[in-house]
Structure 1
Amino acid sequence: MTTILYPFTFTPILKERIWGGTKLKNYLNKPISSENTGESWELSSLPNEVSVINNGFFKGKNLNELLEQFPEEILGKVVYSRFGKQFPLLFKYLDARENLSIQLHPNDELAKKRHNSFGKTEMWYVMQADENARLIIGFKENSSKEEYLQKLESNEILSLLNEVPVKKGDVFFLETGTIHAIGAGIVLAEIQQTSDVTYRIYDWDRVDANGKERELHTELAVDAINYQTTSAKKEYTAIVNKSTPVVNCPYFKTSIISLNDEVLIDKTSDSFMVLMCTEGNFELLFEDKKYTYQTGDTVLIPAVFTSFMLKGIATLVETTI
């Protein structure tokens, strides 16, 4: 196969956050200069936040420009027929020096109605966790709108919520409507629908540099919450030099590749593939070309690449649709 396309990497879109820190630089080689960088958006097509290619012939072009030119070749036949020229996922790395706000995301129906947006189904892969680090995910026991509002009003909302200890390698799948928060001391990779719609319900009574609290979305959240308990953690056993499935939902399929030598990838042209290198270094070998990557790199492999080799010692989070 002859193509002018190749595996793409992008300039990180760095986000300052009240809860952010410096681990994105220390662990993932991101070019941050502040003490509170919370997010590195690796691959995004959100309006005003479109990723720009930083390698090869198309360096300097943004993702949407590329999709205008090669929609089916990059996205894949099935993805293009479903989403058109819109890239349907958003990939991030996050560093929580402090607790994130407690929040949730609406489903597709509510997000479309209220914000003309996709909903936000997402998953997390924990890359680093300090001792005793926790996530908040859902309720301890089945709750109700009435109980939730009463506890929110009395500032006792934490008493209802489920805290989960985490360690490196843990995977969590968060359906829309699930109350959640990333706790202090965690670095993770996040894969989600292309959406930035978040309903913040509690922010630990924090204020910003100007003494202001961040906006809460109490009324919007009430009808979007899943008040039932949920089991978000995905159990898996990574098999060396194999692609181990961990999440398979209507929006994305994600596997973990524990690379310790080489893996031949054979896939269809139905979907693109994205590899997030959460640890180590690897090479991608395609025909007579070699591409080299390190920890923190995120690579978009066009759908027309149906057979290629991965070689190295690394942990990779692999995503297709």
Structure 2
Amino acid sequence: MSQQLTPVRLPANQPRQFYRGGAAIAELRGLPATAEFGPEDWVGSTTTRFGQQAAGLSPLPDGGLLRDAVAADPAAWLGAEHVAEFGSDTALLVKLLDAGQRLPVHCHPSDAFARDHLDCRHGKTEAWIVVGTSGPNPTVHIGFREDVDPSVLDAWVTGQDRAAMLDSLNAIPVRAGDTVFIPAGLPHAIGAGVFIVELQQPTDFSVTLEWQGFLDDPQAWHLGMGQATALGCVDRSGWSAQRLTSLVRHTADRHDPVVQLLGDNEFFRADRLHADSPVELDPSFSVLVVLEGTGRLRTEHGGDAPLRRGDTFVLPHSAGAATVDGGAVAVRCRPPAPGGNG
């Protein structure tokens, strides 16, 4: 029989990356900015970095790993309906990502591509919740402006024509409160000074089209698939301004108790909570990131916990219904709804 579990406050978990960043994560958490190459904090992670055994996995206060705890009692952590569909797979990875420099142009495979070429049920659709910016022109780059011929893309990648790749993308200015949905295959790059809460499918599959100046191993960009196969996962279609409206939302001016941040989709769910009065939450495995203020998390079966800016929690399904109050502002991230209803 499954046990009733309590919410767990998680420490920072910043596996070393190839690009700079991390100061905004440290500031949010109230920690010294010591990890120059720690631009990603993997929160509630049961996922490892590509090709590694343990890097990326979230540790628990008792010294164990969240991955192992979930595997030992998936129903308690994830709920019976989730387990019936996904087994002990959380179907979610959440990160804090602070781009201290522009990221390279890259994209991620779809579920079908990952099944065929990477032996994995998940590709890597993702979404960005912008929670802070710095610098004069915080920008993200998403989707080719015009259709790109396969031979042109092949030439860009072979010659590492970095300017052509970046210039071919739509440049979108962003501010805190904006959200950007990134479907699998969409080429993209996050600009310097953009700080996000990122939801994604639980893999570390990146096809790094612009690898020069970023990756030490020039063969690592294609995940061992080879150039011809890897380029097959790229969405080469043109994304007009009108088409981009389906991906970008502006929510900074919304202060409802629960603000839905992403449109309906089959991959994950996210809400911003404004707990000036008690906000009720249904039972669910979820990751909570406290962005502002202080408050309290109260759960039906898992006890209470104080909240403060910079806290990150993983909430097990068996803790039951929950309430956030006291004025805190937080982002709640959840896996896809069982049945794929968004």
Q: Report the TM range for the smaller structure's normalisation.
A: 0.7 to 0.9
- 1:51 maps to 58
- Contact conserved, 2:19 with 2:214, CA < 8 A, in 1? no
Are 1:274 and 2:275 counterparts?
no
TM-score, normalised via structure 1 length? 0.86
2:131 is the alignment partner of 1:127: yes
- By how many angstroms is 1:20 displaced? 1.8
Counterpart in 2 of 1:100? 103
Of 177, 180, 194, the match for 2:185: 177
Equivalent residue, structure 1, for 2:265: 249
- The structure whose residues are more often helix, as a share, is 2
Higher mean alpha-carbon deviation, 212-221 vs 20-29, is at: 212-221
Residue pairs, 1:1-321, within 5 angstroms: 4-21=4-21, 22-30=23-31, 33-47=34-48, 48=54, 49-54=56-61, 59-117=62-120, 118-130=122-134, 131-152=136-157, 155=161, 156-203=164-211, 205-206=212-213, 215-217=220-222, 218-228=227-237, 229=239, 231=244, 232-236=247-251, 238-265=254-281, 267=282, 269=283, 271-287=284-300, 289-320=303-334, 321=336
* Identity within the alignment, %: 25
Distance 1:222 1:162 in 2: 20
* Aligned residues of 1:238 and 1:244 also touching (Cα < 8 A): no
Secondary structure, counterpart of 1:113 in structure 2: helix
Q: Give the deviation of 1:114 after TM superposition.
A: 1.9
Q: Which has the higher strand share?
A: 1
Residues 280/140 of structure 1: CA separation in 2 closer, same or farther (3 Å cut): farther
State the distance in 1 between where 2:269 and 2:166 align: 32
How far apart in 1 are the matches of 2:119 and 2:316?
28
Secondary structure of residue in 2 paired with 1:234: strand
Q: TM-score scaled to structure 2, two decimals?
A: 0.81
Q: Secondary structure at the match of 1:37?
A: coil
Q: Which amino acid counterpart does residue 65 of structure 1 have in structure 2?
A: D
Paired amino acid for 1:290: D
CA contact (8 A) 2:11 2:312 kept: no
Contiguous gaps of at least 5 residues in structure 2: 49-53, 337-342
Count the aligned residue pairs.
310
Question: Could you tell me whether the CA contact under 8 Å between 2:105 and 2:166 is conserved in 1?
Answer: no
Q: Is the 8 A contact 1:207 1:214 kept in 2?
A: no
Distance in 2, Cα, partners of 1:68 & 1:206? 39
User: Could you report, residue by residue, the CA deviation over 1:91-128 in whole angstroms, capped at 9, with x for unpaired residues?
Assistant: 11111111111100001121122222220011111111
Please give the alpha-carbon distance, in whole angstroms, between the structure 1 residues aligned to 2:319 and 2:220.
Answer: 44
